[in-house]
């Protein structure tokens, strides 16, 4: 595979209580390191780790940075008014001078759908319809949220035309098929094995071919990755990562070695090569906040990953 391998990150540390200040500091450091992008998930009602409004937080980051791209791993479309969401994303894209990458998703928390009065059974239909409305609005076309509504024109439009890059978070065959039918890059679960990812990409490419669509050159993966020459450190981290897998995800999670890349520089380099060769990966989003690892250690590790990727 030709082309650069882009290395990105999620925050190294996170607390909803000091979110904006800490996030901006980390974003400035990530930009200074040379990381491609900073990514935030969206989650609701999860205590101190909640991120209910990633767009607001990324607006704060946009004001403190100039180069690093700003991404959402799963901006939840079914629970939002699509016209309002299109406006907010357009403003962020303007504010950041065209640095937004919008990862979109459907959501999985039953309590979230109940809180926002959305039927879980409708989430895929709403996702598709809301995304279509947002894309139309960003192209400058008149849009309505309800069939009996009065058409409106979005202003401002995004800096990136016809829209910011859109990636689809997908976990399971139905989500994969939906991502493929839209002709958009697919962002996988971070705890699926390399073999599972390879199978998923085969299905995804088959669906794209059936739709008469060309393969995407953007192939992102989110991985837990840590570089250390200390065998004791890597062994302890693997154990902590394994124990941290939520019970609800344990059946779907592969063995720790299948979804994490933790080892010395030679080991991590070989795995990067493997991901490139088997999946054609173009972007690796490094998961931050590794259990038991100091922020300074994570920063050193990510700098090492950047060096390894640049040398491929």
Which pLDDT score, from 0 to 100, does residue 157 have? 98
Query: Which segments of 20-107 are extended strands (E)?
Result: 37-40, 69-76, 100-105
Contact 201, 279 (CB under 8 A): yes
Which pLDDT score, from 0 to 100, does residue 46 have? 85
Could you give the count of Cα atoms lying within 13 Å of 234 in the half-sphere of its Cβ? Answer: 19
Distance CA 97, CA 101 (A): 12
Q: Is the peptide bond before 156 cis (omega within 30 degrees of 0)?
A: yes
Distance CA 58, CA 89 (A): 10
| 170: its two tokens | 């997908």
Q: What angle do CA 76, 61, 227 make, to 5 degrees?
A: 85
| CATH classification code of 6-311 | 3.20.20.30
**Phi, psi dihedrals of residue 302, rounded to the nearest 5°:** -65, -35
Distance CA 131, CA 37 (A): 23
| 240: its two tokens | 């902590």
Q: What is the pLDDT along the chain (312 residues), one digit of tens a residue?
A: 557 899 999 998 877 666 788 899 999 999 999 999 999 999 999 888 889 999 999 999 999 999 999 999 999 999 999 999 999 999 999 999 999 999 999 998 899 999 999 999 999 999 999 999 999 999 999 999 877 789 999 999 999 999 999 999 998 888 899 999 999 999 988 888 999 999 999 999 999 999 999 989 999 999 999 999 999 999 999 999 988 876 656 555 567 888 899 999 999 999 999 999 999 999 999 999 999 999 999 999 999 999 999 999
Spatial neighbors of 247 by CB under 8 A, at least 6 apart, are none
Distance CA 73, CA 224 (A): 15
Listing DSSP states for 79-101 in one string gives TS-HHHHHHHHHHHHHHTTS-EE
């Amino acid at each position: 595979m030709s082309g650069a391998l882009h290395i990105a990150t999620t925050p190294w540390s996170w607390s909803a209580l000091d979110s904006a200040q800490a996030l901006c500091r980390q974003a400035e450091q990530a930009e200074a390191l040379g990381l491609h992008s900073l990514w935030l998930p969206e989650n609701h009602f999860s205590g101190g780790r909640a991120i209910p409004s990633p767009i607001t937080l990324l607006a704060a980051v946009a004001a403190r940075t100039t180069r690093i791209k700003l991404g959402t791993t799963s901006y939840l479309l079914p629970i939002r008014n699509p016209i309002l969401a299109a406006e907010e994303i357009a403003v962020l894209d303007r504010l950041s001078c065209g640095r937004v990458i919008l990862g979109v998703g459907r959501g999985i928390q039953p309590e979230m759908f109940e809180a926002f009065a959305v039927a879980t059974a409708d989430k895929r239909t709403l996702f598709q319809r809301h995304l279509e409305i947002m894309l139309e609005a960003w192209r400058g076309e008149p849009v309505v949220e309800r069939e009996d509504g009065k058409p409106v024109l979005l202003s401002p439009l995004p800096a990136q035309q016809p829209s910011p890059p859109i990636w689809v978070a997908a976990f399971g065959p139905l989500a994969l098929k939906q991502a493929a039918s839209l002709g958009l890059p697919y962002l996988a679960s971070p705890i699926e094995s390399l073999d599972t990812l390879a199978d998923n990409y085969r299905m995804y490419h088959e669906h794209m071919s059936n739709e008469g669509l060309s393969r995407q050159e953007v192939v992102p993966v989110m991985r837990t990755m840590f570089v250390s020459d200390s065998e004791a450190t890597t062994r302890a981290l693997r154990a902590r990562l394994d124990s941290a897998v939520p019970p609800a995800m344990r059946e779907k999670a592969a063995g720790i070695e299948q979804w994490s890349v933790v080892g010395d520089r030679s080991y991590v380099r070989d795995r990067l090569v493997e991901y490139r060769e088997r999946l054609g990966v173009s972007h690796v989003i490094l998961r931050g906040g590794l259990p038991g690892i100091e922020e300074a250690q994570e920063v050193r590790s990510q700098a090492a990953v950047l060096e390894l990727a640049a040398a491929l």
